[in-house]
Structure 1
Amino acid sequence: MTFTRIAALAATTALTATAVFAQEDRTGWPESFTVGTASQGGTFFVYGAGWANLVADELGLSGGAEVTGGPMQNMALVHTGEAAFGLTTMGPAAESYAGTNPIAPGLQMTNACAMFPMYQTPFSVTVLSSTGIEDIADIPAGARIGFGPAGSSSDTYFPLMLEALGVEFERRNGGWDDLGGQLQDGLLDVIAFAAGVPIPTVSQLEVQTDVNIIEFTEAEQATIMEQFPVSAFDIPADTYSTLTAPARSVAMWNFAIANCDLPESFVYAVTDVIMSDNERMVGIHSAATETLPEHWDKNTALMWHPGAARWFTENAGATIDPATIHGAM
């Protein structure tokens, strides 16, 4: 299991922390931390790198992001403690807890705990306008489709979704930036994205060339919702210059996760930094408009870290069942 360390880690001294955190009991706190994200060009990377730097700055620690394979690998990295924090999606989280994570089949990754809600991940399809593809039904048999990094949410669920819709394809994997380049070069016919919007790769593509962002029909959306752990979602028209109206989609919630063995006071402080300043989070990525305390109940798969559970109970009026808090029972 390998992943690339991002060189620039934010670092300050504890003297720069806020007065509240300066008085916090820091027993057992690490001097540095990493956040498992995904490939460059995707929303996980931008979002995760941003909040890692924000937390490092506010708490006076050294912290940064790791490029990874996405939600499945992040569950493994956080479970083993190779990364203190990570980003995941409810579907991969549930599979990891059940022991069906393809990275380590049979291993129940229950030492990765919920920390805070991030945003919904819409599933969307992007093609070059020159292909003439305007609907899912237009995708030709044998189309070369890029599904993102192996083991990512897109790679885990989108091939199955398209198969359920009768699409026949050749499966390709890679980082989002790389797949975007392949699409422009004619080496791919379609990219099937699962990422928070706006997706940096799509934004870059529509600056450089003409693209079509394909929405699902109502029937296609209903079929997918019947078979997969997703809900209805409309990609807002102002997300991309290409869109002239909201694009019908489906989405899955994402959560930040923490190694369950991290000190309660540390995870409480990290959660407080993120959840108490949504304006700064939105400045990192607009998907963070959904990074709000009231979405604590979107955790449907993970045990809560006790530090995070305490924050949401004290500050968001959350009623979290003690049976779902790691180590509470």
Structure 2
Amino acid sequence: MKTLSFAAIVAASLVVPAVAQDKTGWPESFTVGTGSQGGTYFGYGSGWAAIAAEDLGVSGGAEVTGGPMQNMALVHTGEVAFGMTTMGPAAESLAGTNPIAPGLQMTNACAMFPMYQTPFSVTTLASSGIKSVADIPAGAKIGFGPAGSTSDTYFPRMMETLGVDFERRNGGWSDLGGQLQDGLLDVIAFAAGVPVPAVSQLEVQTEINIIEFTEEEQAKIAEAFPVSPFEISADAYTTLTAPARSVSMWNFAIANCDLPETFVYGVVNAVMSDNERMVTAHRAARSSLPEFWDRNTVMKWHPGAARWFKENAGADIAADMIHGG
């Protein structure tokens, strides 16, 4: 019993220096802007908010929001300290084309740490005969997901970039899956974590094709949009016999750029230093690893976050990519 108590004391003494630092300007509490309740953003955001609050001894929690675009606006204005966004909405917000506040360049939202990837994938019925993007007939009815979603915002543009002529359809993923099966849609273009439940359900009920991009198509999309090459693993769906070539858009946690450097450093340390704990909070955190710091090619880094990645991940972040640098 004495040994256990001593070990606990030693453990505590090792933890204290990480948080016993200059707390000048630290907020008494913080809020993380996430997304709709029940979605990945809300679950993931609630998880890291709790971890950061516990480690830093500051009250914190998640708030339901409209997702990536709104989070950029909320963090930029300081209405919430932290948020989560994807590279696409971040780029649009910095350029002043965020539909929430057209013309406002949201440059006071800074990158904090990498979260996970949102892959873009294409699904059709096997009976359609569509086996590639080039096979999609002119005027095809394509379901792009809920209106205003990341999928609906970017996938239509990607299809246009690849020369596809289509009629745009919106709806929830399950609803679109039913429409595809009923012959009301020709293609569904998903931007969601894999396996997408609607696709898994479809392949149980009927034969489908999961369309991969060619290397040329992948490169063309990656050049035009803030996405990275991605492979959908063969074990994601029973339909696949080999990995399917795709692209993905990274999700990043963001911070108001005016937050104290030591505070943001502490939050990043809490989240990035123990991936197992983050994965326990949400499975999507399996990609929340320090080595993926370089997936941010859009936003300037918060100085506290940049310092953490330089010190702990060997990050080579240029001075002009750090806020105030």
TM range (shorter): 0.7 to 0.9
**Which AA in structure 2 matches 1:181?**
D
Q: Which secondary structure state, in structure 2, belongs to the residue aligned with residue 94 of structure 1?
A: helix
Change (3 A) 1:33 1:323: same
Distance 1:262 1:254 in 2: 21
* DSSP 3-state at the match of 1:319: coil
Equivalent in the alignment of 2:175:
181
Pick aligned residue for 2:62 from 36, 61, 64: 64
Name the stretch that deviates more: 287-296 or 270-279: 287-296
Alignment of 1:93-104 (within 5 A): 93-104=90-101
Q: CA deviation at 1:284?
A: 4.1
Q: Would the aligned equivalents of 1:214 and 1:247 in 2 still touch at CA under 8 Å?
A: yes
Shift of 1:257: 0.7
Aligned equivalent of 2:246, options 246, 249, 254? 249
SS at match of 2:152: helix
Return the letter of the residue paired with 1:249.
Answer: S
Aligned Cα root-mean-square deviation (Å)? 3.1
Report Cα offsets for 1:34-62 as digits up to 9, x if no partner: 33334466544443333233333444423
Cα contact 1:71–1:89 (8 A) shared by 2: yes
What whole-Å deviation, never above 9, does each CA across 1:141-164 have from its counterpart, x for those lacking one?
Answer: 2414124441x4322321011122
Contact 2:145–2:176 (CA under 8 A) maintained in structure 1: no
Which residue of structure 1 lines up, in the alignment, with residue 215 of structure 2? 218
Cα 1:206–1:288, aligned 2, differ >3 Å: closer, same or farther? farther
Residue type of the partner of 1:136?
V
Q: Name 1:10's counterpart in structure 2.
A: none
Measure, in 1, the Cα distance between the counterparts of 2:46 and 2:200. Answer: 19
Instruction: Classify 1:181/1:49 alpha carbon distance in 2 versus 1 (closer, same or farther; 3 Å).
Output: farther
Asked if structure 2 preserves the Cα contact closer than 8 Å seen for 1:41 and 1:200, the reply is no
Kindly provide the amino acid, as one letter, of the partner of residue 292 in structure 1.
Answer: L
TM-superposed CA distance for 1:77, in Å, is: 1.8
- 1:154–1:182 Cα change, 3 Å: closer
The one-letter code of the counterpart of 2:293 is: W
The match for 1:7 is none
Paired residue secondary structure (1:268): helix
1:113 match: 110
| Cα distance in 1, alignment partners of residues 93 and 311 from structure 2 | 29
Give the equivalent residue in structure 1 for 2:78.
81
3-state SS, counterpart of residue 62 of structure 1: strand
Change (3 A) 1:284 1:206: farther
Quick one: structure 1 residues 227 and 263, their matched pair in 2 at CA, closer, same or farther if it must change by over 3 Å?
Answer: closer
Q: How far, CA to CA, are the matches of 1:156 and 1:182 in structure 2? A: 17
Does the alignment pair 1:316 with 2:313? yes
Residue 272 of structure 1 deviates from its aligned partner by 0.6
Q: Using the TM superposition, give the Cα deviation of residue 133 of structure 1 relative to its aligned residue in structure 2, in angstroms.
A: 4.6
Give the whole-Å Cα distance in 1 for the aligned partners of 2:46 and 2:126.
32
Q: 1:136 aligns to what? A: 133
CA distance in 1, matches of 2:128, 2:79: 43
Alignment partner, residue 7 of structure 2: none
C-alpha contact (below 8 Å) 2:142/2:189 kept by paired residues: no
Q: Which runs of 5+ in 2 are unaligned?
A: 1-11
Given that 1:127 and 1:183 are in contact with CA atoms closer than 8 Å, whether structure 2 keeps it comes out as: no
Q: State the AA in 2 paired with 1:64.
A: A
Question: Aligned partner of 1:288: which letter?
Answer: A
In the other structure, the counterpart of 1:168 is 165
- Specify the SS of the correspondent of 1:274: helix
Larger Rg: 2
For residues 41 and 206 of structure 2, the distance between their equivalents in structure 1, rounded to whole angstroms, comes to: 24
Cα offset for 1:138? Answer: 4.5
Unmatched segments (≥5 aa) in structure 1: 1-14
Q: TM-score, normalised by structure 1?
A: 0.79
Work out whether residues 75 and 254 of structure 2, in 8 Å CA contact, stay in contact via their aligned partners in 1: yes
Amino acid at match of 1:183: G
| Cα gap change, 1:44 to 1:247, in 2 (>3 Å) | farther
Q: Percent identity?
A: 69
Choose the corresponding residue for 1:90, options 84, 87, 97. Answer: 87
Selected match of 1:258 from 243, 255, 260? 255
The alpha carbon displacement at 1:249 in A equals: 0.5
Report the CA distance between 1:125 and its aligned residue.
1.9
Measure how far apart 1:247 and its partner are.
0.8
Report the CA distance between 1:302 and its aligned residue: 1.1
What is the distance in 1 between the residues matched to 2:199 and 2:30? 30
State the number of aligned residues.
307
State the Cα deviation string for residues 157-208 of structure 1 (Å, max 9, x = none). 210111223333333445xxx3323422556554322234344655566677
Q: CA deviation at 1:292?
A: 1.8
Q: 1:278 aligns with which of 264, 275, 279?
A: 275
Cα distance between partner residues in 1 of 2:262 and 2:187 = 46
Say if 2:176 and 2:188, in contact at 8 Å, map to a contact too. Answer: no
**Contact 1:99 1:107 (C-alpha < 8 Å) held by counterparts:** yes
Q: Distance in 2 between matches of 1:226 and 1:311?
A: 29
